[in-house]
Chains A and B, each alone.
Chain A
Amino acid sequence: MTDLLPQLALFWRPGLTGALLALLLPLLGLYLRLRQEYWAALAYGQVGAAGALGALALGVPQIAGGLALSLAVAGMKHRLEKCLPAAGLFPLLFILGWSVSLLLTANLPGVERLGAALFEGQLYFAGAEMLCGAALALALGGFFLWRAGRLLLLACLCPAHFHARRLPAWPVRAGFDLLAAASLALAVMSLGVMGAFALVFIPPWLVFALAPGWRAALAAAPVLALLAYTLAFALALVHDQPFGPVLALVLGALALPVAVAARFAGHAERGK
């Protein structure tokens, strides 16, 4: 504990950045899972990483490059989907993003350090601009999901009724895609690709299995993510480990027994 307190004082900015993202990402993950688009989280994240590395190579701020490329992909999503066979877009983008990122890292000495940080999730490098970005993403994302969450659910569960009612389609299409892309690009630049994906995937995966309803899921997923994040942050600081893998490990260690227990409880209930 005596080691931890001075480090917390030193790293309050990255800590807060990650905490804000730990609240937002699971909320996005719930809707991505609902839309069966959680591959999108990996794709937007990896494309954002490639954009950040490319920007650095060109002497442009990395945050601008990551956001620009990720948002451009989200903006073209519907057009790209029409050109490709079913469900191929996001895995393909993920693979291409990964490949470009690694090639940039391997061939441009200037971006090597950032490349390693993006894959390891070196949260401790997050500066004031990243904190502002995370705060803005949480504020905008929270407001958007509060206002448009019902539309997102209705469009997914009762699409014919949604269209017949002539309800606004932009939040369900471009609005959500752009929000997810921007948030994932920001998250990757601080938490790393897999750290961000773990927050998008694992808490929603758990609450989908356990929550009695959607409201409960909306409340439980960010709480669970924040608890895991806090524990991972402390562990990574005390043991001087890269943050992304520690976060993924903590989330996995928390989730696996609960998921297995929920599975058996489900079997028992069906057996009655």
Chain B
Amino acid sequence: MIKTKDLQKNFAVRVKSGRFRREKRVVEAVAGVSLSIEAGEMVGYIGPNGAGKSTTLKMLTGVLSPSGGEVEVCGLQPVPQRTRLALRIGVVFGQRSQLWWDLPLHESFALLRHIYRVPAAEHAARLRRCRDLLDLDDFLDTPVRQLSLGQRMRGELTAALLHGPRVLFLDEPTIGLDVVSKQAVRSFLAELGATGDVTLVLTTHDLADIERLCERLVVIDHGRVVHDGTIEALHARYGSRRSLVADLSSPLPEGFVLPGATLVGVEADRHRVTFALDGVTAGAAVADLVTAVAIRDLSVVEPDIEDVVARLYAS
């Protein structure tokens, strides 16, 4: 559905050098990204600020032309075939609106029907579905400028889907939303992705979005792909492990060794200990620990994707 090969984008930036002279310096925003995304996939595209996420998205949607490499979306060339591509993709920018600020929300939807030339029956059916799933009915008659951010984002999602796009691009769709609205957006997208009709590509800084929605994770840094695969593969690659945290009734004896695990944390006068599980199951580790010391409380902690990604960005 989406194919890029060695996709590049360079920006020329003029830098002051001397009193009147300005030098041209080339900044590589995207430095050779090759991706292949199949129909129905849900892909999270993440990276630190300035990594080239938005630039890639703009090249995929036909807003910017690439400086080099190849790009194909829905079998079309984004920039030369922009208007044809626009009919097949939906785009949600978290930070800017596709809706008409001064008009009631339902009028924006009616306008989009004209802009995308959607038959009335199809439009009505899709709108019906979004109204049910996103609870739009309470604010359909409210001018967009008076909507809360959460309500507006639900409107934006609907607006991007009314023409039945094959690919949906979401640029930070949960930015600035409260917990409840984030949940609403995520469950809607999860349901949409589950149908398999729509390919989803989303950029975000909120890794919970990715954990909840995306099987596949593409991490970009300095314009290059540094990871492309599942979240599990990311954990495996960066050696992030599950850990066992135990509160003990008596201090942990000096020199204690738990087979297959490494002691990584000791707190509260050796009453609270953390073991990283290397090649052993949580069950076996717990059994070994219980026979050695008396335990008051115990928990198994999943590896934190935030930590992994932070390490990835830092390296």
A binds B: no
Chain A interface residues (CB < 8 Å from chain B): none
Q: Which positions in B face A, CB cutoff 8 Å?
A: none
